[in-house]
Amino acid sequence: MTNRLLVAVTMTAREAARNRTACVLALILPLLFYGLALLMTSERIVVFQLASRSLEPDIEVAGRSEALVFMALIAIGFMSAFFGVNLMQKHSDTNRRLVICGYRPSELVLSKLLVLAGSVVIVSLYCLALMTPFFVPRHPATVLAGLILIGYVYGCYGLMIGALWRRELESMFSVILLTNIDVGWLQHPAFYSEAENKAFIHWLPAYWPVQAAMSGAFADYGLGPSAMGALAYGTILLFIAILVFWRHVRMAVPRRSQSMVAAR
């Protein structure tokens, strides 16, 4: 299994590296988001409440600093979800042939997850480096963990959507709809502080990663609960992606091929 997984990761990484357009967009999108944040915000103090620390005093920070951290979360959330969809839906015929040759669906999905995780870590480091000249978080390592966690959660969401839908239109619509509503709007600290139904926001995918990043940037709270919540949320989405992908592959593989795979 280890050898097959290593081969699958290597081949998936090579295919991803050939997509030069996606690589360029991964460099440009954070620059665009940060540019908008610097252009549209000021050093005026904003007050917000950390959702995971509702009993603690409100936090007062410069609006530009808060916007830079939140823009990094939005950029990584969007990119990881789209990349997850692309990894799942690209070369679907090849995936079926690999299953016929003896690969397990879980191995193929995990290979895509590992390539996605590596990409998320690189982009998160890139975003944190771009942020540093304008704002240095109180705990950069915690902010980096929050950025990686939102990439993990939304990357798994992208893998699940890519497995659920066969066509790009439905997949893109599902990604844009949730990311825009969740990390692009409802998770914003200023909006959360004034929201009426805060319990609903807690159930959305970006809740725990946003709390981790914001706590690391502007407070001294620990990462533990936020990290556990994000990892649990993302893992549930990953298991759904594996289950749906396994079902689709099994339906597409002829019965004779299925018996050969089972015999192996």
Q: Is residue 175 part of a domain?
A: yes
Q: Considering the domain boundaries, does residue 264 fall inside one?
A: no
Task: Give the pLDDT of residue 261.
Answer: 43
**Is 151 part of a structural domain of the chain?**
yes
**Would 260 be classed as within a structural domain?**
no
User: Is 115 inside any structural domain?
Assistant: yes
For 205, residues 6+ apart whose C-beta sits below 8 A from its C-beta are 153, 154, 157, 178, 182, 183, 233, 234, 237
User: In angstroms, rounded to a whole number, what is the distance separating the alpha carbons of residues 141 and 143?
Assistant: 5
Given a contact cutoff of 8 angstroms between Cβ atoms, the answer to whether 115 and 87 are in contact is yes
Domain that holds residue 78: 2-254
239 within some domain: yes
Does residue 262 form part of some domain?
Answer: no
Write the CA distances from 261 to 79, 99, 101, 242, integer angstroms.
35, 8, 7, 17
Q: Dihedral of CA 155/157/159/161: which sign?
A: negative
Return per-residue pLDDT of the chain as tens, 264 residues: 678 888 888 888 888 888 888 888 889 999 999 999 999 999 999 888 887 776 666 888 999 999 999 999 999 999 999 999 998 887 666 677 777 777 888 888 888 999 999 999 999 999 999 999 999 999 999 999 999 999 999 999 999 999 998 788 899 999 999 999 999 999 998 888 888 888 899 999 999 999 999 999 998 888 888 999 999 999 999 999 999 988 877 665 554 444 544 444
pLDDT digits (tens, 9 = 90+) for 25-52: 889 999 999 999 999 999 999 888 887 7
Pick from 120, 117, 129, 119: nearest CA to 34: 129
Q: Directed axis angle between helix 168-181 and helix 63-89, to 10°?
A: 160
Domain count, the chain: 1
